[in-house]
Amino acid sequence: MHTHETAESPMTLPMPTPSNTTDIGHSAATQQKTCEILRAGYPAVSAAIDDREKFNTRSWSDPELLSSVNQLVEKMNRLATDLDTSLSEVAAPDFRAAIENYVAGLRAVSLSEQDHATNTQLNGTGLFYNQVVDVVLPMCGIPS
């Protein structure tokens, strides 16, 4: 019978190493930077979506609809690119996945609008966008 376990027992947890703490700190800093970009760009995207929805019943040849689509596409593409650029490999996996999914949602809606998709296609990309935005906003402390 053993009366004591050594410090090298399999039950001993490893102490954080300088590289572990550096990675954790870098991950938090990366997330902070990406969240700042989302906080800065999301209101413009949200406003452009609201503006675009005012013209849902109009034809693709309507100048006001086309203008709102152009604004929406521009805002979504800018935010997608900015988020993509800000995201580091050291970001926490769940955060990284949420941002990548949100970028995919931005691009899906943008492409559908730019290509003058059917209402069925627009509704599909809109549902996808709503699903991914609902995940990423709370991660950055943004009310939905």
Q: Render pLDDT for 21-34 as a digit per residue (tens, 0 to 9).
A: 444 555 788 899 99
Q: What average pLDDT does the segment 9-17 reach?
A: 41
- Segment 128-136 shows an average pLDDT of 97
Query: In the chain, where are the structural domains located?
Result: 20-139
- Three-state secondary-structure class, residue 59: coil
Pairwise CA distance, residues 50 & 55, whole Å? 10
